[in-house]
Structure 1
Amino acid sequence: MALFDDQMAWPQPNSTPPPPRRRSISVGWVLLSVAAVLVLILGLTPSPYVIEQPGPAFNTLGFDRAVGSTAQGGQNGTDSKTHLISIPSQKTYPTSGSLDLLTVSLLGDPKNLPSWMEVVSAWFDPSKAVIPVDVAFPASSTAKQQQQENAVLMVDSQKDAIAAALNTLGTPFPQSVSVKQVLAHTPADGHVKVGDEIVSINGVKVAGIESLRAAVARNGADATAAVGIVRSGQSKTVEVAPVKSGSATVLGVGVGMDYAFPFDVKIQLENVGGPSAGMMFALGIIDTLTPGFLNGGARVAGTGTIDNEGNVGPIGGIRQKLYGAKDAGAKYFLAPASNCDEVVGHVPGGLQVFAVKKLSDSLKVLKTIASDGDTGKLPRCTT
């Protein structure tokens, strides 16, 4: 008895092939067309995001143009070179290598948003960051206002950098913590006035804003503080009871630094704002005013705010600046220790990153590099 009939679906050597599956091919073309339309939509539709990416690097020991730039430098499109840092009235010394400051550029703004395709591409690029447009451009201020604020921060950071450098070099000059604002209905209201110079807290000298904050924090909100001030040239002490504001202890004043520098330090850098170049400005000034090469002639980059006491503060866009440093050819990078949580796991290959808290830490790193010392013993960002 036969188990199978000859009409079963076993292929025969000379059997005719089945007709083409037109339905499957048609469905495939439809899906491909839909995908193409989606790609086109993603490529053209604006997203609610902007993209942070590495911006140009500038050598504080060089001229007022980006590292590697072939464009004309100088002002008004001329081809003249202007030193980024110049100190006309003082003896200066030759420098070598670089002390690069880094920038972050923004792709997009509220009126010209990047496409979804650009955003998706940026998500997979470790050198870029995608952020909501309303975070980059808060509704409380216009893009023009932000530019103006960043310009003011840049000017202030340059003054603080000059002060930090001169203090490090032991050059004396008048500097004071000045009251710029007294908040109504706060402990300082009625006791401290705009224009007062704060010189001490509980008899301890205040050398800068960070010293003032630390002294008020030590006093706490449970006791009255003796605030030493100079008003219209007269010294006096006023009693102020600090209060808690969030996690901070405050007097209720807004303060700023006033300086009277003994000579002019000119810093020429256009179209760059914010305070994050402060530390690199200070290092550039020190190198310019001292013999020898602070960096040993190496390419060094870095970032961080600075104050007159030499404290290095955190900045934004640290990951983009790491890649910007690598692109500029730097082998070493000075990063604020307070940014270490963003640095770990995001360091480009071939770049050594050191964690610094004060200007003196940065100088120690540079001394080690210049002397071919063991950089492995220097502080790094770790988990």
Structure 2
Amino acid sequence: MRPSHDDSSAPYGKSGAAGNAGPGDGRPGMPVPAPQPDGSYSVYPYQGLGQGQPAPGRRTPRARAMLVSGALALLLGAAAVLLPAQYVVESPGPTFNTLGSAGDKDIIEIEGRTSYPADGELDLTTVYVSGGPSTNISIFQAVGGWLNPDDVVYPTEFLYAPGTTSDEVDEQNAAAMTSSQEAAVAAALTELEIPYTQELTVAAVVEGAAAEGLLQPGDTVLAVGDTRIDGIDTLRNALNDVGGSPTEVTVRRDGAEEVETVTPAPKDAGTYQLGIELATTFDFPFDVEIGQGMERVGGPSAGMMFALGIIDRLTPEQLTEGKHFAGTGTIDAAGNVGPIGGIRQKLIGASDAGAEFFLAPAANCAEVVGHVPEGLGVVRVSTLEEALDAVQKLAAGGSAADLPQCTS
């Protein structure tokens, strides 16, 4: 972005260039400039050259075009600097020890049941996101992200639907965090064989599905045939047992029990479904508060590390034996570990925080291979049980190389 050069800025009548004559230049055939009231000279066209020169202070069409182009370039440059770039930059974020505190609050607080102090670290890892609906970045920040090997840059529409607002992003992240925390408690209690109950409520009925016109949003599923439903696994098993035969589904609707006859539809080989979306409500035997002091952290990816932290706090034995673990992964009530985003940035964040070992979801292994920071031992896990087993073996002095690895 350079200012344009004004070709008309050189003084006329001094250079002796063709078509210009200085005062009193007496060359044959050259017009003599006429003096102006302000002491300057105007130069008239020299017919022999076919083109004249403008008077001092007046710009040629070429000069005016260059001036306009320069101004436009400056405006475009300013716009590039000031207007937000349509990109999102993901960078390594901070880690949080689920066995520790954030601010003046324990990240995991348990009331109504004996809990135990825990040494060592079970870090959840995060990704710092710049750009998108929540924050604006400049084109220079986007370029900086491209040049930084620790960062990754995405077009905004790759991560967010058009029209998504920052409030919607915050609400979605908060809801995902709350859901992951409840699932983490359920998974931890399942692993420790501590009983709890859960209710499955119909959130939506899929159009054209088996339950359309029979079940309604807000219905709580109580039984399938003679089987009482106390969780998603019980429901799945009950539906698979009846196969494609009509069966009675008992629900609680507006405070009263209703019975509807539904014919489950086949989904995959040997599996059947009602065609409903479910929301789960848990009833735990004691209170577990998670995520204290982490108001700016959202999303579902901390579920597995929350579950490990809860297990450590509920057992008298030291799970980590003072060692430093980090990891990431979603969790469901059954203890299944799912994939997350930003795994490479989380590996870097864990390494920067001093972690010795990292628990990575098996579904993210393709992104892990070739991007493990030096000195960080990575173990592949698919379930909470596998993650717990890995922590126990590593805490006892085992090697990450002897445990499941990401190979592709």
Greater mean alpha carbon deviation, residues 126-135 or residues 150-159: 126-135
Offset of 1:293 from its aligned partner?
Answer: 1.6
Instruction: Tell me how far 1:317 sits from its aligned partner.
Output: 1.1
Secondary structure of 2:89's counterpart equals strand
Q: Distance in 1 between matches of 2:99 and 2:356?
A: 16
Partners of 2:288 and 2:134 lie apart in 1 by 38
Deviations 1:133-154, CA, capped at 9 Å, x for gaps: 2233322421111111110111
Q: d(CA) in 2 for partners of 1:111 and 1:365?
A: 37
- Give the Cα separation in 2 of the matches to 1:210 and 1:140: 37
Measured after TM superposition, the shift of residue 198 of structure 1 is 4.2
Aligned to 1:57: 95
Matches within 5 A, 1:93-172: 93-109=116-132, 113-172=136-195
Q: Could you give the per-residue CA deviations for residues 76-127 of structure 1, whole angstroms, max 9, x where no partner exists?
A: xxxxx11111113322112111111111111223586434443333224332
Residue aligning to 2:203? 180
5+ residue gaps, structure 1: 1-36, 65-72, 74-80
Contact 2:362–2:382 (CA under 8 A) maintained in structure 1 = yes
Q: Which moved more, 1:134-143 or 1:226-235?
A: 226-235
Amino acid in the other structure paired with 1:47: A
The aligned residue for residue 368 of structure 2 is 343
Residues 124 and 243 from structure 1, CA distance in 2 versus in 1: closer, same or farther, beyond 3 angstroms?
A: farther
Letter paired with 1:373: G
Counterpart amino acid of residue 192 in structure 1: L
Letter paired with 2:285: P
Q: Distance in 2 between matches of 1:345 and 1:329?
A: 20
Q: Secondary structure at the match of 1:55?
A: strand
Q: Which residue of 2 aligns with 1:25?
A: none
Give the conservation status (yes or no) of the 8 Å contact 1:322–1:333. yes
Change (3 A) 1:349 1:252: same
- Fraction of identical pairs, as percent: 44
- Whether 1:382 aligns to 2:377 is no
Determine the structure 1 residue equivalent to 2:17. Answer: none
Deviation at 1:131, TM superposition (A): 0.3
Asked whether 1:331 is paired with 2:369, we answer no
Counterpart residue identity of residue 342, structure 1: E
Task: Provide closer, same or farther for how the CA distance between residues 194 and 108 of structure 1 changes in structure 2, counting only shifts above 3 A.
Answer: closer
- Contact map agreement 1:224 1:240 (CA 8 A) in 2: yes
Distance, in Å, in 2 between the alignment partners of 1:381 and 1:207 is 35
Cα RMSD, aligned residues only: 3.2
Q: Against the structure 1 CA distance between its residues 253 and 120, is the aligned structure 2 distance closer, same or farther, given a 3 Å change threshold?
A: same
Match of 1:271 in 2: 296
1:307 matched to 2:344? The reply is no
Alignment deviations for residues 223-259 of structure 1 (CA, whole Å, 9 cap, x no partner):
45747544367596733242669xx975321102111
Q: TM-score, normalised by structure 2?
A: 0.71
Q: 1:344 to 1:238 in 2, by over 3 A?
A: farther
Write the distance in 2 (CA, Å) between the matches of 1:294 and 1:215. 36
- Quote how far apart the aligned CAs of 1:200 are: 7.1
Relative to structure 2, which stretch is displaced further, 206-215 or 339-348?
Answer: 206-215
Amino acid at match of 1:129: V
Distance across 1 between alignment mates of 2:301 and 2:378: 17
Aligned partner of 2:347 in structure 1 is: 322
Contact 1:201 1:225 in 2 (8 A): no
Assess if the C-alpha contact under 8 Å between 1:94 and 1:292 holds in 2: no
> SS at the partner of 1:369?
helix
Aligned counterparts of 2:233 and 2:351: Cα–Cα separation in 1: 32
For the residue of structure 2 that corresponds to 1:190, the secondary structure is coil
User: What displacement does 1:158 show?
Assistant: 0.8
Q: What is the distance in 1 between the residues matched to 2:246 and 2:339?
A: 29
Do the aligned partners of residues 331 and 227 (structure 1) sit closer, same or farther apart at CA in structure 2, a change above 3 Å counting?
farther
Q: Which ranges of structure 2 fall in alignment gaps of 5 or more residues?
A: 1-73
Cα deviation, residue 307, structure 1:
1.0
Cα distance in 2 for partners of 1:85, 1:373 equals 27
Question: RCO (CA 8 Å, sep 6+): is it higher in 1 or 2?
Answer: 1
C-alpha contact (below 8 Å) 1:207/1:309 kept by paired residues: no
Which secondary structure does the structure 2 equivalent of 1:288 belong to? helix
Provide the rounded CA distance (Å) in 2 between the counterparts of 1:380 and 1:214: 32
Distance 2:110 2:355 in 1: 26
**Structure 1 residues 192, 292: closer, same or farther in 2, change over 3 A?**
same
Q: 1:264 to 1:50 in 2, by over 3 A?
A: same
By how many angstroms is 1:206 displaced?
Answer: 6.6
Cα separation, 2, equivalents of 1:96 and 1:155: 26
Instruction: State the match for 2:41 in structure 1.
Output: none
The 10-residue stretch of structure 1 (228-237 or 333-342) with the greater mean CA deviation from structure 2: 228-237
Pick the aligned partner of 2:81 from 26, 29, 44.
44
Distance, in Å, in 2 between the alignment partners of 1:207 and 1:174 is: 6
Report the CA distance shift for 1:285/1:226 in structure 2 as closer, same or farther (over 3 A). same
Letter in 2 for 1:274: G
1:360 aligns with 2:385: yes
